Amino acid sequence: MLDNPFAMRAFVTRQLISLSRTAVQDANKIKALELLGKSVGLFSEAPEAAPRAITADELKVQLMAHMRFIGLN
């Protein structure tokens, strides 16, 4: 998983979602939600940059990683 940034991102996201729901202390829930929000640009103060165009090869790599992650080899 460490060599696959897409799988790592999905893992971290799932863990943060779980922590935001199950943490005993409210501070831990809030921190998990803050990190989730930052991961999607929710708290961005800087103007958003135009998204970078993705090449077909990059898209293929991402798609294959997602398919492997969900078990659709």
Question: What does pTM read for this prediction?
Answer: 0.55
At residue 47, the pLDDT reads 67
User: Could you report the per-residue pLDDT of 17-73, keeping only the tens digit for each?
Assistant: 999 999 999 999 999 999 998 888 787 676 667 778 889 999 999 888 888 888 876
Dihedral sign of CA atoms 12, 15, 17, 19 in order: negative
Q: Which residues, 6+ apart, have CB-to-CB distance to 20 below 8 Å? A: 29, 32, 33, 36
